[in-house]
Amino acid sequence: MKKSLLFMMLIAVTAIGFSQSFPGYSSGNYTGVNGVFFNPANIADSRYRWDFNLIGIHAGVGNNNASFSIKNIGDAFGKDLDSVLFGSSAKNTSALANIDVFGPSVLFNINSKTSLALTTRVRTLANIKDLDGKLIQSIDNNLSGSLPLTLSSDANQKIVVNGWADFGVSLGQVLYNENKHFLKGGVTLKYLAGVANTHANISNFTGTADEDVFGDTYITNASGAVSVGISGVNISDDFEASDLTKFKSSGFGADIGFAYEYRPYGDVITEKYPNKYKYKIALSLMDMGTIKYTPDANRTGSYSVNISNVQKWYPQDLEGKSIEEIKTYLDGSPYFTNLAAVAASYKASLPTNIQFGIDYNVHKGLYVALNGQLNAAKKEDKYSAYYNNNISLIPRYEGRGFGVSVPLTYNELSSFTAGVSLRVGPVFIGSGSILSALTSKSKQADLHFGLRFGGLKKKDKVPVKTTTVVEETVYKKKVVKRKASKKEDEKETPKAADVKQVTETKVEIIKVMDTVKVAAADTDGDGILDINDKCPGVAGLFVHNGCPVPDTDGDGVNDEMDSCKTIPGSIKYHGCAIPDTDGDGVNDELDKCVTTAGLMKYSGCPIPDTDGDGVNDELDECLTVAGSAKYKGCPVPDTDNDGVNDDEDKCPGLAGDKANFGCPQIKKETIKKEEPANIKKDVLKKISTAAKGLQFATGKSVILKKSFVQLDNVVKVLKADPELTLEINGYTDNVGSADKNLQLSKDRANAAKAYLVKKGIDESRITADGFGAENPVAPNKTAAGRLKNRRVEFILNK
């Protein structure tokens, strides 16, 4: 019975399989051309010279809620599909399913390194994502006894079914094959033929479900958005099998993959390693691409839901309607508003996924594989189906004609399942969930089977040794010899009479060679047959292909003992070069200062410093007398020989006193401290104030403008009394060169004099001189004292 707005999905779920196709079978080495569907690198150096797949089908169903066992599988029949999927608790449901059909496909080898495959495949892949069970059961009027209910979902509820066929060309290539290491890659290019795309979305839906007096469920006070759409074949109407061949949509896709194998005996099939490798690591990116669909406008639309708290919408109105009828109903319903015109086309992405695997050869035909599948598609895309993440542990036995595997899988959707897969000759059949269903309950049901034929590569022939048997046959033959005369010995031409012929009988041995084959040989007796031994004349080890342990750097220390395989060394240092602990280029056996960097000239020690002054002997001009680097290892000089070294001498070129920092004492009459009795005190005060207010630019003799007012007062005093004379004396602190300080003090005194002369005072009335750091008025040990000592003094006379 057709159920509801979601009819197309529920119909599809009854005939679709689980996400991981062909569990167990996909991990084997005898999948032939079908291996390209799991990793395109598989066809390179496969076990087949050629291979043809007739048919391969995988189908089933899986979800996160409903479960069953073989014992009660009959109970599921006769129930409504929504009851099976959602259960009595009406939980949200997610499901992922597919039908996967391997069509006629062929594999053949171009040469020993390159293989080609032509493939056909048909798939139907579907998702249910976060579907609200309460809402579905309200459509089926199956909520009686539990009403009223609040329906609320922030999730984007998604239903999508995508069906398509692909036609592929695959190329597999051996990329690297040296010693024990083997790498192959492959790529598949696919033409995609879209069969159908059906989708439905419910987003941000809220509302209240209740029942009327007749027991019918209705929804009120609801809002949200819904959309439905169909492109291509309509699987819910008058569907015919021939519709599957009507490809109305198309696109392009690709797969790419790589596989690395560790092969202890190289590129040889042995009894111990029937598939050559000890372990294999594979990685592939599958199902890249999109299909462009043209939507059916009569069956596609997007609507907003608006049902007030006084309105009632009966979901049962959708029951029994086709997609066209559902769209017509929605277009005419006051509760649903058409949001936009149907787009001319849209693209549905393939279920892009990453597959990886590690396969380990336990012993001969026993293997264990760890395989995983990671989704790389966008789950929220309403047009595109996707695979869920899963990981499988697969123990198996495989031979050329028979194989059995037990896939143990954990899927993020259906949790844990266990199954079994068999391969007998050209037939393969199995299920990834049969053991779970037999022993307990499973949320997954699946089955696969197929038929394919191939020409296996011939086994390596039994190694043989070619030997030579010598048969000796004796013949009697007459030989004529000439006997030379003495003259011939003397290198003279003999006469005919001097030469006589002697007839002798000679026995000659003729060797007849005959080649025969004898049993396989091990010439060097190292346990490795010559056919597999890369050094058949020298005893070696299996791990080195019958050769001795190599010595890569040729230093006499084999690689297994050599800690520095590519650098020649010695046994004493485990095959490494003599170390140089301090990295000075002098190895430790020659270095007398092993932990301190030095020079070969000094046996690996640093340059010596005989006098211990911190200046090494190569730079020290006074090797036995301690000095400083500034003076090339010599003591600080005393240029003027005044007992004060140049570093402390303020006057290094002029002999002076130690008490005066190496400068000579400047004799100056003591300035009279008493005030002249014949000059008024207010005049002296003005002069003193002017001197204290006189300021210069730092380190210069330039008078600052703010000092001009005070100097102008001095001008007024001198002009008021022409009998007055002025003595200007400049001083500095003791910081810096004494010569420079002395000159600065003179320049500042003369600058003050020049200002007064410029203002009209006769030059003869003014004397100016400087005395540097002489006659300090405060200690120079403090900043305040040095500030007082940097001064100019004005002395009035009459």
For the chain, how many residues are written?
Answer: 798
For residue range 330-340, list pLDDT tens digits in order: 888 899 988 87
Least confident of 406-420, 653-667, 703-717: 653-667
Question: Is the Cβ–Cβ distance between 568 and 577 less than 8 Å?
Answer: yes
Tell the residue number behind the tokens 């009959």, with chain if given: 74
Q: Which residues on neighbouring strands pair with residue 95, listed in sequence order?
A: 63, 128
Which class for 511: exposed (0-12), middle (13-18), buried (19 or more C-beta within 10 A)?
A: exposed
Strand partners, 60: 446
Q: Is residue 334 located within the same domain as residue 482?
A: no
Give the pLDDT score at 234. Answer: 63
pLDDT of residue 138: 65
Give the pLDDT of residue 235: 56
In a shared domain, residues 363 and 474: no
Q: Tell me the mean pLDDT in the region 132-153.
A: 70
pLDDT of residue 492: 43
What average pLDDT score do residues 538-560 get? 88
End-to-end CA distance of the chain: 137
Residue 607 lies in a domain: no
Same domain, 492 and 446: no
Element (H, E) at 418: strand 415-418
Reported confidence tier of residue 556, pLDDT bands at 50, 70, 90: confident
Q: Is the model's pLDDT at 790 over the cut of 90?
A: no
Buried/exposed code over 548-561 (b: 16+ C-beta within 10 A; e: otherwise): eeebebebebeeee
Asked whether the beta carbons of 348 and 293 are under 8 A apart, the reply is yes
Let me know if residue 586 belongs to a domain. Answer: no
Average pLDDT of span 358-365: 95
Is residue 769 a part of any domain in this protein? yes
Same domain, residue pair 505 and 482: yes
Among candidate residues 348, 333, 344, the one with its CA nearest the CA of residue 303: 333
- Find the farthest-apart pair of alpha carbons in the chain and give their distance in angstroms, rounded: 167
Do residue 200 and residue 176 come from a single domain? yes
pLDDT tens for each residue of 587-637:
988 999 989 998 988 898 999 988 888 888 888 889 888 888 888 889 888
* 220 falls within a domain: yes
What letter represents residue 166's amino acid?
Answer: D
- pLDDT tier at 12 (50, 70, 90 boundaries)? very low
Contact 658, 650 (CB under 8 A): no
Give yes or no for a contact between 730 and 769, defined as CB atoms under 8 angstroms apart. yes
The per-residue pLDDT for 474 is 40
The SS3 of residue 117 is strand
**Residue 440 domain-assigned (yes or no):** yes
Report whether pLDDT(448) > 70.
yes
Position 657 pLDDT exceeds 70: yes
CB 430 within 8 A of CB 18: no
What residues are paired with 281 via a beta bridge? 260, 358
Do 358 and 471 lie in one domain? The reply is: no
**Residue 443 counted as domain residue:** yes
Nearest to 120 by CA among 232, 244, 240: 244
pLDDT digits (tens, 9 = 90+) for 452-485: 999 998 875 444 444 343 334 344 444 444 444 4
Q: Give the pLDDT confidence score for residue 30 in this predicted structure.
A: 96
Within this chain, do residues 364 and 483 fall inside the same structural domain, yes or no? no
Q: Which domain holds residue 385?
A: 7-456
pLDDT in tens, 80-123: 555 555 555 556 788 888 899 999 999 999 999 999 999 999 99
* Single residue among 518, 540, 557 that ends a domain in this structure: 518
Residue 699 has pLDDT above 60, yes or no: yes
In a shared domain, residues 443 and 477:
no
In 63-148, the DSSP E strands lie at 93-102, 105-109, 114-131
Distance CA 677, CA 158 (A): 116
- pLDDT at res. 115: 97
Residue 72 banded pLDDT, cuts 50, 70, 90: low
Would 75 be classed as within a structural domain?
yes
Amino acid (1-letter code) at residue 311: Q
CA dist., res. 255 & res. 188, Å (int): 5
Look up residue 234 and give its amino acid. N
Considering the chain, what is the average pLDDT of its residues? 82
Cβ contact 195:242 at 8 Å: no
Residue 36 has pLDDT above 50, yes or no: yes
What CATH number corresponds to the domain at position 783?
3.30.1330.60
**Rounded CA separation 33/629 (Å):** 83
Asked which of 409, 426, 456 is the last residue of a domain, the reply is: 456
Same domain, 345 and 489: no
| Tokens, residue 418 | 């266990």
In a shared domain, residues 38 and 158: yes
Q: What is the pLDDT of residue 83?
A: 52
Is there a domain that residue 479 lies in?
yes
Q: Which of 413, 431, 456 is the last residue of a domain?
A: 456
Q: For the chain, how many structural domains are there in total?
A: 3
What residue type is assigned to position 617 of the chain?
Answer: D
Cβ neighbours around 19 below 10 Å, total: 32
What whole-number distance in Å separates Cα of residue 164 and Cα of residue 642?
108
Same domain, 406 and 505: no
Q: Are residues 203 and 63 in the same domain?
A: yes
